[in-house]
Structure 1
């Protein structure tokens, strides 16, 4: 008798649940709406300078010396950009002057896009480098050359600060 009561209660519950669900799906006409998820992505670029260009210790009679440094530019996909190099003397052709720590002399150098090739300055369309971003870091290399004729200057350690500019 107890089993019969339990089975009857369970059957009644199942029938009630099934009937309720069926009634809801037939009686309720659900209302719907939609919405968008939006974002605006702006074009952008970042530049990360590489290591300093160290040209070592030079002596009269040595040959011209060239060194290089790789740096990265990361721009959003399909973003065109132009890279300019500006020595501290603001020369537009990439011809810089290194100052000594105590000497009044200046050591001249030139920046290039490849070894002994096109100067790298900041005259757009003349001596800058153009590229297009792909969303990843793109590596570029700048070269600096000091001619042997500069080795006559007063012995000292010479340096200059070059600014990399990326226009996009």
Structure 2
């Protein structure tokens, strides 16, 4: 019986100590921050006119530019004059050696709004939504250009300003 009473006394003592001697705590906070930078990525497909016949109507073709910009970021997409000497954004040229074939790049399907590289004048603007957006480039080779047969090409640089 003495052992049982002694055990009960010890248990009561430890219960009293644990109820009155809890561990102390303290809290604090920290801030979490991030800066989202405006950003855009662009890609494009080849604009292939195929066979050109100077005796027929103009030869038209299209290609797509895909632009993906940070949500809410405004952008302007410009197309330069190309790499063929003598070409401008309003009178582009494809070359085959010293021979050139004129063509145009446009913002609309009627091929009446030139697509150049001067912001506020002849670029295409938009606002990013975080997803891919497609811009169509409308190309035209005017008829009645009597150039030697062969493969003609040019390289256009696309610039996204954001």
Instruction: Quickly name the TM-score band, shorter chain normalised.
Output: 0.7 to 0.9
1:131 aligns with 2:126: yes
TM-aligned CA distance change 1:43 to 1:15, over 3 Å: farther
Unaligned runs of 5+ in 2: none
Task: Report the Cα distance in structure 2 between the residues aligned to 1:119 and 1:82, rounded to whole angstroms.
Answer: 14
Q: Check the 8 A contact 1:88/1:96 in 2, yes or no.
A: no
CA RMSD of aligned residues (A): 2.7
Map of 1:55 onto structure 2:
49
Unaligned runs of 5+ in 1: none
Task: Report the Cα distance in structure 1 between the residues aligned to 2:91 and 2:17, rounded to whole angstroms.
Answer: 86
Structure 1-normalised TM-score?
A: 0.80
Map of 1:95 onto structure 2:
91
Larger helix share, 1 or 2: 1
Task: Report the Cα distance in structure 1 between the residues aligned to 2:35 and 2:13, rounded to whole angstroms.
Answer: 53
Q: Check the 8 A contact 1:97/1:106 in 2, yes or no.
A: yes
- SS of the residue aligned with 1:149? coil
Q: Check the 8 A contact 1:71/1:140 in 2, yes or no.
A: yes
Task: Report the Cα distance in structure 1 between the residues aligned to 2:70 and 2:153, rounded to whole angstroms.
Answer: 34
TM-aligned CA distance change 1:31 to 1:148, over 3 Å: same
Task: Report the Cα distance in structure 2 between the residues aligned to 1:67 and 1:38, rounded to whole angstroms.
Answer: 48
Task: Report the Cα distance in structure 2 between the residues aligned to 1:48 and 1:21, rounded to whole angstroms.
Answer: 68
Structure 2-normalised TM-score?
A: 0.83
TM-aligned CA distance change 1:31 to 1:65, over 3 Å: same
